Amino acid sequence: MTAMISETAYAKINLALHVRRRREDGYHELETLFAFVDAGDELAATPADADRLTTHGEFAAKIDDPFGNIVAKALGALPHGQGWAVDLEKRLPVAAGLGGGSADAGAVFRMVERTHGLPDDWHARAAKLGADVPACVLSRPCIGTGTGTDLAEVAENDLAGCPVLLVNPRVPVPTGPVFQAWDRIDRGGMPGGSLREIALHGRNDLEAPAIAICPVVADVLAALGETSPFLARMSGSGATCFALYESQQALSEAAARIAASHPDWWQLSGSLR
């Protein structure tokens, strides 16, 4: 790298998240439909004598240990020549079901890919950083199975460009307790079809346990439901919820309505990639 490069860490949402069983290793067997919004954290890197990370932005204070941040770990996982000075603008809330840290790591992988190329075992290196990281490297719609690291891209992406609104009540929800609160009932596999069909006929099995732990999630879903989306659902283990709309005008009206009625909630408008 001889000059500054930049990359967006696209916000991840789970259009569907089916929990099938708890595995003997303590993890859960999942079927999930990953999709990505065309906005998120912003990263920029310049040549330096050693790797270093600077964080700023609305949610930077939520990162307890910048040196142990997943961005630093991603740099350590990949050969990238000289040192990189990485600037991370943290725009996505933390512990929010948006894969914020995983998205940041995915952005680092794409930056390394552009400058040095990725090693053949990049997927395994990404998976060691977190279950969502391989999908976030791709940042394209895909189905994740196993713990979410086994990926298959969706053949028909009929939701590209779909207007989407993300809303978070500014309450962090740790992933572990939500999975522990899952009732262990297998409600069946994910349907087939196009991206839209899978999303519409899918579900998020973690919504109920997340609401039990963080009741305001139900308020967010109810508020989004009143804005006439064709789909409103919680992402990941919460607390962020998303709504999909048929038009940009519908999205703009929904965003304005949510901002007026709940000015303390975080929100992000965008389009699906």
Q: What is the pLDDT of residue 127?
A: 97
197 and 227 together in one domain: yes
In angstroms, rounded to a whole number, what is the distance separating the alpha carbons of residues 209 and 215? Answer: 10
Question: Where a domain ends, among 153, 171, 193?
Answer: 153
Q: Which pLDDT does position 24 carry in this prediction?
A: 85
State the pLDDT at residue 64. 58
- Count helices and strands (H / E) in the chain: 9, 10
Distance between CA atoms of residues 108 and 240, nearest Å: 24
Distance of CA 108 to the CA centre of its chain: 15
Domain hosting 201: range is 163-271
Residue 69 has what pLDDT?
86
pLDDT at site 66: 54
pLDDT at residue 57, rounded to an integer: 95
Are 138 and 9 within one domain?
A: yes
* pLDDT tens digits, one per residue of 211-268: 999 999 999 999 999 999 999 999 999 999 999 999 999 999 999 999 999 999 999 9
> H or E segment at 44?
strand 28-48
* H or E stretch at 218: helix 216-225
Residue 196 forms part of a structural domain: yes
Q: Give the total residue count for the chain.
A: 273
CA distances from 140 to 35, 93, 188, 201, 256 (A): 6, 21, 25, 20, 28
Q: Contact, 91 vs 58, CB < 8 A?
A: yes
In angstroms, the Cα distances linking 13 to 100, 122, 151, 220, 254 are: 10, 22, 15, 16, 19
Residues 208 and 145 in one domain: no
pLDDT along the chain (273 residues), means of 10: 93 98 90 98 97 94 71 95 95 93 97 97 97 97 97 94 98 94 96 96 98 98 98 97 98 98 98 98
* Phi (first) and psi of residue 124, to 5 degrees: -65, -40
* Same domain? 117 vs 203: no
* Residue 103 in domain: yes
Whether residue 257 sits in one domain with residue 141: no
Which token pair is 173? 């929800």
Q: Are residues 200 and 136 in the same domain?
A: no
Domain holding 142: CATH number? 3.30.230.10
Residues labelled catalytic: 12, 132
- Among the candidates 133, 153, 173, a domain finishes at 153
Q: In this structure, what CATH number is given to the domain that contains residue 260?
A: 3.30.70.890
Residue ending a domain, choose from 94, 121, 153: 153
